[in-house]
Amino acid sequence: MPCSYENKWKIFFLVATSIFMSTLDSSVVNVALPYMMQDLQTDLTTIQWVVLIYLMIVSSLLLTFGRLSDIKGRKPIYVLGFTIFVAGSWLCGMAQTPQLLIISRALQGIGASMLMACSPAMIVDVFPAQERGKALGMIGAVVAAGLTTGPVVGGVLLEYFSWRYIFYINIPIGIAAALGGMFVLKGSQQAGKKEEPMDKTGSILLIIILSTLIIFLTQMSKWGMISIPSLSFAGLFMLACIGFMGNEKRSDFPLFDMELLKIKLFVFPVISSAILFAALFVIIFMMPFYLTYPCGFSASKTGLIMIVPFLFLLVLSPVSGMVYDQFGSKYLCVAGMSILTLSLVSLMTLDPEMGYLSILWRIALAGIGTALYVPPNNTAIMSCVKSERRGIASGTVATARNIGMVVGVALAGLIFTTAFSTLTNGSSLENYLPAMDIFFMSSFKQTMLMGAILSAIGIGVTFARGKEQGKE
230-244: pLDDT as tens digits? 999 999 999 999 998
Residues with Cβ within 8 Å of 91's Cβ and at least 6 positions away in sequence, in order, are 100, 103, 104, 107, 108
Environment class of 364 (CB within 10 Å of its CB; exposed 0-12, middle 13-18, buried 19+): middle
Tell me the per-residue pLDDT of 244-277, one tens digit each, with 9 for 90 and over: 889 888 877 777 777 788 888 899 999 999 999 9
Query: What does the pLDDT average to over 128-150?
Result: 72
Tell me the per-residue pLDDT of 287-313, one tens digit each, with 9 for 90 and over: 877 887 898 877 667 767 877 887 887
pLDDT-derived band at 345, boundaries 50, 70, 90: very high
**How far apart are alpha carbons 380 and 378 in whole angstroms?**
5
Buried b (16+ CB within 10 A) or exposed e, 405-436: bbbbbbbbbbbbbebbeebbeeeeeeebeeeb
In 21-76, beta strands by DSSP E: none
Please tell me the pTM assigned to this model: 0.77
Q: Give yes or no for residue 39 having a pLDDT over 90.
A: no
Percent of the chain beyond pLDDT 70? Answer: 86
Return mean pLDDT, the chain. Answer: 81
| CB-based contact 304:290 (threshold 8 Å) | no
Rg (CA), the chain: 22
Length of the chain: 472
Query: What kind and span of H or E run contains 472?
Result: none
The DSSP code for 465 is: T
**How far apart are alpha carbons 60 and 210 in whole angstroms?**
6
Q: Give yes or no for residue 395 having a pLDDT over 90.
A: no
Q: Give yes or no for residue 190 having a pLDDT over 60.
A: no
Amino acid at 362: R
Q: Give yes or no for residue 1 having a pLDDT over 50.
A: no
Q: Give yes or no for residue 459 having a pLDDT over 90.
A: yes
Amino acid at 276: L
| CB-based contact 208:238 (threshold 8 Å) | no
Largest Cα–Cα distance of the chain, in whole Å?
Answer: 67
Phi-psi region of 381 (alpha: psi -120 to 50; beta: other; left: phi over 0): alpha
